[in-house]
Amino acid sequence: MQNILVIGANGKTGRIISKILRDSSGFKPFAMIRKEIQKPYFENLGIETRIGDLEEDFSDAFKGMDKVIFAAGSGGETSDKKTTEVDQKGAIRAIELAEAHKLQKFVMLSSMGTDAPSRVDGLEHYLRAKKAADDFLRESKLVYTIVQPGGLTEKQGNERVEIAKHLNKQGQIPREDVAKALVYALELERTKNTSFEMISGDKDLKGQMKNYR
């Protein structure tokens, strides 16, 4: 059983990730939360928590962990300063802590559009922050996978996707399918030290990730 730290566990995608890990046979989730008031939600699901704020010292959350999924985000309505602190500086600090604790793998939830932030009106700063964190992870000593989904929806997932390093088109995808991809990335050797964009499509998610180069 591997201990998985879920950073951003209280977000919409993070909650789905935590539940998938809880129901898995090989992983045990530890939900990183910012406030004690968030703890009962996870305790009621039988999921252990770790207190940690990306804008402060959250090093204790990494103790005893084997791998990490970074699914945190400042949200679309926050200031540029908040975005920088969470999506860029917080992510980079998490990568540094994962290296210091010799974690086996770092799985990053990023976004489509990070290769050309200036092309997406209104999201330029957010995408630049994500790109800085992604690039820092790529240059680290960690084994990693970076998942870059299109627009996230609340629809039920069906694990039917389209995956490529660069899709060269826009699209959407259910959070549930993205969460499953992040969990699959913990165990699949084929996604080692790679990044890929993903949107809904007609191909099997796990099959696509197994064959991804």
Task: Identify how many contiguous H helices and E strands the chain contains and give both numbers.
Answer: 7, 11
What distance in Å separates the CA atoms of residue 84 and residue 156, rounded to the nearest whole number?
A: 31
Q: Please report the pLDDT score of residue 52 as a whole number.
A: 96
What distance in Å separates the CA atoms of residue 209 and residue 60, rounded to the nearest whole number?
A: 32
What distance in Å separates the CA atoms of residue 112 and residue 200, rounded to the nearest whole number?
A: 13
Q: Please report the pLDDT score of residue 143 as a whole number.
A: 96
Look up residue 132 and give its DSSP letter.
H
Q: Please report the pLDDT score of residue 77 as a whole number.
A: 66
| pTM of the predicted model as reported, rounded to 2 decimal places | 0.94
Q: Please report the pLDDT score of residue 73 as a whole number.
A: 82
Residues with Cβ < 8 Å from 38, sequence gap 6 or more?
A: 10, 49
Q: Please report the pLDDT score of residue 120 as a whole number.
A: 60
**Is 145:108 a contact under the CB 8 Å cutoff?**
yes
3 state DSSP class of 24: coil
Name the CATH superfamily, with its identifier, for domain 2-210.
Answer: NAD(P)-binding Rossmann-like Domain (3.40.50.720)
Which runs of E-coded beta strand occur in 64-150?
67-70, 105-109, 144-149
**Is 156:174 a contact under the CB 8 Å cutoff?**
yes
Of 198, 197, 196, the closest CA to residue 144 belongs to 196
Of 118, 120, 92, the closest CA to residue 106 belongs to 92
Q: Please report the pLDDT score of residue 126 as a whole number.
A: 83
Q: Please report the pLDDT score of residue 118 as a whole number.
A: 58
pLDDT in tens, the chain (213 residues): 999 999 999 999 999 999 999 999 999 999 999 999 999 999 999 999 999 999 999 999 999 999 999 999 876 567 878 888 888 999 999 999 999 999 999 999 999 888 766 566 567 788 888 999 999 999 999 999 999 999 999 999 999 999 999 998 889 999 999 999 999 999 877 789 999 999 999 999 999 898 776
Q: How is the chain split into domains, by residue range?
A: 2-210
Of 127, 138, 65, 140, the closest CA to residue 101 belongs to 65
